[in-house]
Every structure is written in C-alpha cells, then in structure tokens.
Amino acid sequence: MDISSVFKIMKPGSILLRVFQSICMKSVKYFIDSKIRQHVTPVPGSVLYCDLWVAVEHSGIYVGDGKISNIVVDGIAESSVSYSSAADFTSKSILGRKIYVSCNKDGAVGNSKVAHGADNHIGERVLYGYFLKNCHQFSTKCINYTDQAPEQIGLTEKTFSFVPPLATWEPTLAALKNAARKKLGTTKWRLWDWDKSLQDNPAHEPDWQAQEQYFQYLPLNEKSIELIRSELNELQDYQSELEDENIPQHITKKLTSLNSTLTQISDKYEEVKEFLAKCPGADFSYTDIINSQDDFTALARLLHDNQRIKDLAHKMGRNYISEEKKKATKIPEASKNEVHGTHRSNDLMRMLPSELVNLEDETLEVLFYARLLEHNLLTYELQGVTYINGEEQQTSQKRTGPVVACLDTSGSMAGAPLLKAKASLLAIANILKQEQRSLHVLLFGSNGELKEFSMNEVNNSSGLLSFLQQSFGGGTDFETPLKRALEIIKNNEDFIKADILMISDGDCILSTEFIGSLDTEKNLLDCSIYSVLCDGKRVEDNFSDEIILL
C-alpha cells in the first residue's frame, strides 16, 4: 500500500492522521537534505536532534569527542543525563539514523557554555514525562546557559531568527528550535553524515503529486486545517532556510507548488468555514468545494435557520422503530466481572499489562498515548450484564428508519429554489449520517429523467455534494421518481418502511389513476410522503402526508 492509500483510510482528526501527515514534510526534507544540501559535522555546544518515530524526535547537546549529552530513559518514568555516541543517540529511530545539527549559512554552530552546561548535568537523574521533563526541555535549558545571541548575524539570518517558532505536533521541540535561533544564531538545520550512510544511500525523491492530492482530498474541518497550516508554516520555514543555497530549480518549483496548494486550501477554508460549520460530521474536501458551482455563503445562510428541516429529518422514518424492553431474568453464569477475551478500547482499568511496556521507553511512550486516544489499547473484554436488585436492566433503544429523497431539478427550480433544495437535502443527509440512517437520493426532471445516489461508507457527504451539481433543467414529472422510490422501498432490505421526501417547487400535478395506485403502495409498504416546497407557493397537493414550506 502506498502512502497516498494510507492517507485515504485515516480518520479525520485522528492521532494516526496527524502522525502520517507529518511524513509529508519529513520525506521532502530528508530527500533534499541528504541528496542535495551540504552535510556538516557538529561543534561543541551544537544542538542535535533525530527523528525517532514519525512525529517523535529526540534531542541532545554535542559536547565534543563524538559524545552527545542527552536524557536516556532507563526505568519507568525515570531517566538520567548520560553521554551517547551517534549510534546510541539514533538507536531507537525507525525512520533512519539521521541526525540534524544546528547551523547557519557557514556551517555548524554551537557555544562552549552550552557544551559545558550539558557536561555538568551528566549523571543527574530526573523523572521523565513526554510533556513535562523531556529531552527537548533539557536541551533548551542547556542553550540558555549562554545569555547572549551571536554578534555577527547577516541580514537574512537576523530576519530569519525572529520568525515565530515552528508549529509542530510536539511544542517543546518548537521551543528548542526557537531558543537555538535566538541564542546560537541557528538559521538552518543540516544533516550530519556520522556513519557515511547518506552519501551511500540518499533518500528517494517523494511523490510530490500524491502529497498535494492528499491535502486536496483531506476532509476540511478545524482540526485538519490546523494541521494543514502547521504543515504550511513548516514548509515556508524550510523554504527560507534554502533561499541562499544552490537548490536545483526543479526542486524549488515543486516546493513552491506545494506551498501554493496548501495556501489555496487555507484560503478556501476561510471562504467556506461558515458553511462547513453548519455541516458537522460532513467530509467535504478542498476538491469537493472547488468542483462545486454553488454559492457557499448563501448555502450557509440557508442552513443557519433550518429548524423545520431538522424536525422533519427526525420525524421521517419513525415507522421503523425497534425497542428493547426491560425484563426480569435469573442471573446467568456469565456476569459483568468475567473475562471472555480481549479487544481494543481506551479502558485503562482493564488494560493488558503488556501495554504498560511502552511507557518505559521514550520512543514508544507517544505510541501508548496515540493508542489511548484512538481507543486502540489492548484490553480485557468482559461479557455479561449488569444487575440491579436481581433484575436485568436493558436500556430501551429506538432506531429511526431510512429515507428516499426525490429532488426536483427541472427548469422551474433554477436559481434560489434549487439552492434551497440543496441546502435542505445536505442538512437532512448530515442528520441521517450522524444517526446512521440510510439515504437514497433521486434527481429527477421530466418523464423518464432520473439519476440516483445512495449514501454509504463509500458514497458519503462529499459524494452527495458532487452528485448535486447535476440537473436536468427541462420539464417536471413526479411519477417517475415516486415509482422508483416505491421500488427501492419494496425491493431493498435496507429501506424497509422508509419514508419518501419530495423536494420541489410543487409545480406538478399527479393523475387520479396514479394517486390511487400510490395510496395503495403506501399502505402496503407502511410509508409516508413528506414534501418540502422551495418557493412557498403551493400549499396543498393530492399525494403528500405533510408539506413544509421554505
């Protein structure tokens, strides 16, 4: 599976999505830094860091003679400040044993006071916590032993040194890099080819197109846009590093293209964020938005006052209700305190001891927290029921049914009525999705004109938005969509007792003969027809059970 395929199965906002997204800039930087940029050798007082596990870095201070002063975890939540060789420093990395060095345009930078301070901490023992006392905070403390910034910094480097700290997934690393800028004049981070592996095995060029497409198809929401903007900040920071270096033109163009893509996504989000806020749980991407011809400002306004649509969505499908009643039973052999296996959850009280091993290792500790937040810890599975006064307590559950929606896209719906219709359907689709209810959409026009879309795990809200860009624009025929809706309810098990939603301007009359057969089918299938009128003109018809005016 390639990395673009991995991105598509990540849940929006998940820890794993954050983790895999961080590979994007890492893969770009590794390629350029190992194959194109000059490598360096650290000097005493240089800040070093290496990538351990995707979004996790380890840092320390180079003190000379091949020794690195750094925090080494040697017990549960305990660590000591020790010397490490480059090999030891990178021994836990699963991304390649690469070490970055604090630099300016002339090469590695450091400070003897920083090296001396790091030396003096050797042998100290500290409690270790990922967000409290960690390696980055130790390195930052050592940097602060020099209280003055370098006197001679070029104009470009002066400007660069006051750039705000990088927005990274791990904030203490950003603080470390910012301290290195202010106190050591660090304007660049270059690789140290300590084992000659870079010159022999340079990184492969990343799939630039796949990375841009990933961001373009990423569902837009507050969390994803935060990540996109973080990635953009890191990219712009990196481009600033490269300004005075001899980088091939085709590489700078690809960096510029990625910058442009991320900037466009960020700007587009600002344009449509009000609309997106009205569709919580939807998965509209940048590509979905730019491929749509709709006025999203108007859609957001229409979605704002949609209480009648919300009430309608909850009303439809009420004929399909399942209810479990309380019942008294004898206590069975399997009770709530019996273990029947293992499963994945975030239940710390029933977590397997093997999961605690990750907390002992600096590299794997973040993996533990990722699994916790993803409800993916290996835990004991308890079966049985809870008893109160010898009675089995079962919560009553109701499940509302599916909906078949018919959307009129005839010529009379053009303009404001069709926009109202789309806003209504998007709002209803979002409610049904959150309630895990099925929705089948029929676009119709004149006699025989019909297009279909069924929402499921593959065809989601973004697919619906794209589907709604189609229209027929001719005459109007209600019989074609109503016949098809009845067929779906009759022949599809997922739509048993579904209700029919007709969204139109009401500019159509059904024949008496068809009304008779329609009433018969409605009674047999136990379904109702709700009509939403988007121009507010016609109030009554001869087939709807209820009419809502917009």
* pLDDT tens sequence across 270-303: 999 999 988 877 889 999 999 998 898 888 888 8
pLDDT at 468 over 50: yes
Q: What pLDDT does 169 receive?
A: 40
Give the model's confidence band at 51: pLDDT under 50 very low, under 70 low, under 90 confident, else very high: confident
**Those residues with Cβ within 8 angstroms of residue 133's Cβ, 6 or more apart along the chain or in another chain:** 71, 126, 127
Which domain, by its residues, includes 457?
Answer: 296-318+399-549
CA gap 341, 440 in Å, rounded: 39
410 domain-assigned: yes
pLDDT band, very low/low/confident/very high, at 167 (cuts 50, 70, 90): very low
Which candidate, 280, 306, 147, places its Cα nearest to that of 223? 280
Instruction: Please check whether residue 200 lies inside any domain of the structure.
Output: no
Q: What total of structural domains would you count in the chain? A: 3
Give the E-state strand segments of 54-105 in sequence order: 56-64, 67-75, 78-84, 99-104
Are residues 386 and 405 located together in one domain of the fold? no
Tell which residue, 491, 482, 497, 521, has the closest CA to residue 437. Answer: 497
Residues 449 and 358 in one domain: no
Question: What pLDDT, on the 0 to 100 scale, is given for residue 495?
Answer: 92
Q: Which two tokens stand for residue 358?
A: 């990750």
Res 382: pLDDT: 58
**Least confidently predicted of 83-97, 195-209, 215-229, 319-333:** 319-333
DSSP 8-state symbol, 478: S
Q: Is residue 283 part of a domain?
A: no
- Of 185, 184, 164, 186, give the one whose Cα is nearest residue 175: 164
Q: Are residues 301 and 426 in the same domain?
A: yes
Higher pLDDT, 122 or 7: 122
Instruction: Pull the structure tokens for residue 363.
Output: 């590299």
Domain C-terminal end among 351, 366, 392: 392
Spatial CA neighbour of 67 closest among 140, 139, 118, 141:
118
Higher-pLDDT residue of 8, 193: 193
Highest mean pLDDT among 76-80, 380-384, 392-396: 76-80
- Confidence band of 42 (pLDDT split at 50, 70, 90): very high
The verdict on 359 and 430 lying in the same domain is no
Confidence class for position 522, pLDDT limits 50, 70, 90:
very high
What is the rounded distance in angstroms from the CA atom of residue 306 to the CA atom of residue 312?
10
Q: Which of 63-67, 96-100, 473-477 has the highest mean pLDDT?
A: 63-67
Average pLDDT, the chain: 80
**How much of the chain, in percent, has pLDDT values that exceed 70?**
75
| pLDDT higher than 80, residue 171 | no
Strands (E), 349-477: 377-383, 387-388, 391-392, 403-408, 439-444, 450-455
Q: Are residues 386 and 403 in the same domain?
A: no
Shared domain for 526 and 414, answered yes or no, is yes
Q: What is the radius of gyration, based on Cα positions, of the chain?
A: 31
d(CA 382, CA 342): 8
DSSP state letter for 121 = T
69 shares a domain with 50:
yes
Least confident of 183-192, 337-346, 370-379: 337-346
Tokens of 330: 């004898």
Give the CATH number of the domain where residue 508 resides. 3.40.50.410
Task: Let me know if residue 159 belongs to a domain.
Answer: yes
Question: Which of 18-22, 117-121, 154-158, 252-256 shows the lowest mean pLDDT across its residues?
Answer: 154-158
pLDDT band at 26 (very low <50, low <70, confident <90, very high): confident
> Quick one: pLDDT at residue 113?
96
- Band of the pLDDT at 380, cuts 50, 70, 90? low
Torsions phi, psi of 172, nearest 5? -70, -25
- Would residue 209 count as lying in a domain? no
Residue 475 shares a structural domain with residue 543: yes
- Asked if the model's pLDDT at residue 7 lies above 80, the reply is no
pLDDT digits (tens, 9 = 90+) for 445-462: 999 999 999 987 667 888
Is residue 229 domain-resident?
no
Q: Is residue 349 part of a domain?
A: yes
Q: Do 45 and 169 share a domain, yes or no?
A: yes
The span from the CA of 126 to the CA of 136, in Å, is 14
Residue 354: pLDDT band with limits 50, 70, 90 = low
Which of residues 192, 218, 242 is at a domain's end? Answer: 192
Distance CA 312, CA 428 (A): 8
Among 365, 392, 419, the domain-final residue is: 392
pTM of the predicted model, to two decimals?
0.73
In this structure, are residues 102 and 46 in contact, taking their beta carbons and an 8 Å threshold? yes
Residue 497: band (very low, low, confident or very high) from pLDDT cuts 50, 70, 90 = confident
What is the rounded distance in angstroms from the CA atom of residue 241 to the CA atom of residue 138?
A: 25
Question: Do residues 157 and 75 both lie within one domain?
Answer: yes
Give me the CATH number covering residue 75: 3.90.1720.10
Question: What does the pLDDT read at residue 63?
Answer: 97
Q: Which residues pair with 405 in a beta bridge?
A: 441, 501
In this predicted model, what pLDDT tens digit does every residue of 391-446 receive, in sequence order? Answer: 444 444 445 689 999 999 999 899 999 999 999 999 899 888 888 889 999 999 99
Give 539's pLDDT tier (boundaries 50, 70, 90).
low
Q: What is the predicted pLDDT for the residue at 52?
A: 78
303 and 431: one domain?
Answer: yes
226 domain residue, yes or no: no
Q: Are 47 and 63 in contact (CB under 8 A)?
A: no
Q: Are residues 519 and 489 in the same domain?
A: yes
Q: 């999961």: which residue's tokens?
A: 355
Measured CA to CA in angstroms, residue 377 lies from 131, 343, 353 at distances of 20, 8, 11
229: pLDDT strictly greater than 60: yes
Burial code of 510-540, b = ≥16 C-beta within 10 A, e = fewer? eeeeeeeebeebbeebebbbbbbbbbeebee
